Chain A
């Protein structure tokens, strides 16, 4: 397959996908069970963006950073603060006399601003934190995310952040295509970074810091770059998440949220962009949609299925996660990327899968003995 042909194929696939989403949106009523599909597409895209941004730092640059929730928080707040219409501010900021900001910005500049503010904070936080090594970097970045959360909930900043109260009534989107396209553009830019000369330098740092430095790569500068770019897109992801949820509150952006993205990145494969994207959609679809029936009582004929009640869905979901983590420790994609040849090969291989699996299990059983 030539390069142009591959491009063409990809463009057609993307256009077809967007077209199908558009058509479905016109035809599926909001009340149907299938409307969950849109939740999955929207939230999945937003998660994919944040997961890919996290992969840039953790998977491609080899830094163990756990600050993603903090940067999403900054992005979400920046976006929300600047897009609440002035005439609604009195009701949103009811405990703070309508807040101190009296204007609003259009959505797209606000989204970009969200990224810039997140990136700026990442730059400042990176100055001390990126000098630390592996696990120390992880705990320090996690710590900064927690500090940011406390600051945003601080009463004294209430006129800007509304303290620990909800921010709402800001501009949101009206079609599922919006987050899909926005996330798509951002992921495309991240892919361009990864495949550029700088992306190669990031990978060199991941492979061997000392050798990278001996090749003239300024470790600190490049780590800072990767960290800021990643946070910029995490900020945009936060803004999109705010739009998706229509309200936001600092308490959502806990360390647990960062862990979710780390899970997605690892399940998809560290260092694989397509892996992160696929894992994001699967993660959201599984948790929000496919397993939903487990949360309510179900009957098969007259038989009441035991155990099913609120909360069971998440138990099953975490068991599924554990199984994936234990049995596919390299992730869905490893460090590979999606390619048309790969897909073709996979389709041809499908008939042989049962045989291969049984061989694999036999081999593992032998190893375990």
Chain B
């Protein structure tokens, strides 16, 4: 194993009340990889994403990023008795950062239903994402003592928009862009936070086959250009099979398979999960 590990999810369980949304899920992403997560609707894919990005604190389990433990939790309080998952005693710490802290460490994401700052301009959308790494405070920013920093943020944002082919829309209101460009802007905005790992939640949703082919190419391209690792959720099988090197399959919150695209395509459990079993 010479590959450098980026993300390691260990035994993550997310339980809401009595419902186990993700059960004992483990996975990893190595540097430069494009990893896919698939599964039928309601399988817990987005919940897994939300655990990694800090939207939810998992009920149990640990998440390491670049060799550092960023999230760890164990059942406590009321959950102690309710907990239905495994590995209950394995983890002891309770580390539950808010999403912004995780973004600061270098994990960026997009959303299933696009969440742009829709009444702000395209340029501002990207510029806002530059805020987190800027060396400034409210005083220097207000009295414009951070001119060089502000200049840098603007230049970098502009450069990013140009690279993504969005520069001609820079002054348009983000919400007025066509759907495909909104998706692209959301990715550009995520890239603006200088991530090492990019999580894409159904990037091809609502795209036609030709657009999703382009998207496949685009994903590979940003991986190389921005030196990223990418972890994506997708329903669009052609895209997942075409672009991912390794795929995890969730069903009812449980990981039922993993492997390269070919293995997944031929895995009877996966076929069963998607198509059901003949009685």
**Chain A residues proximal to chain B, CB less than 8 Å:** 189, 192-193, 196-198, 200-201, 203-204, 207-208, 210-220, 225, 229, 335
Contact = CB atoms under 8 A, between A and B. Distances in A.
16 contacts: A192-B142, A192-B144, A193-B141, A193-B142, A197-B131, A200-B131, A203-B124, A207-B119, A210-B111, A212-B128, A214-B99, A214-B103, A214-B115, A215-B131, A216-B132, A218-B98
Contact of A335 (B116, B119, B138, B141): B119
B98 A213 contact: yes
Contacts of B128: 200-201, 203-204, 212, 215, 217
A211 B115 contact: yes
Given A204-B128, A207-B117, A210-B55, A215 B193 contact: yes
Contacts of A225: 138
Given A212-B128, A217-B100, A217-B132, 13 more contacts: A189-B142, A198-B131, A200-B131, A201-B131, A203-B120, A207-B117, A207-B120, A210-B111, A212-B117, A214-B111, A215-B193, A225-B138, A335-B119
Contacts of B101: 218
A220 B55 CA distance: 14
Contacts of B132: 215-217
Size class of B's contact patch? Answer: 35 or more
Given A198-B138, A198-B141, A200-B124, A213 B100 contact: yes
Contacts of B249: none
A200 B53 CA distance: 23
B131 A208 contact: no
Contacts of A197: 127, 130-131, 134, 136, 141, 146, 150, 153
Q: Which 9 A-B pairs have the closest CB atoms?
A: A216-B132, A207-B117, A216-B103, A211-B115, A196-B141, A213-B99, A215-B129, A204-B128, A218-B100
Interface of B: 53, 55, 98-101, 103-104, 108-109, 111, 115-120, 124, 127-134, 136, 138, 141-144, 146, 150, 153, 189-190, 193
Contacts of B193: 215-216
A313 B130 CA distance: 52
B189 A215 contact: yes
B142 A208 contact: no
Contacts of B111: 210-211, 214
B98 A198 contact: no
Contacts of A213: 98-100, 103
A244 to B, nearest CB: 27
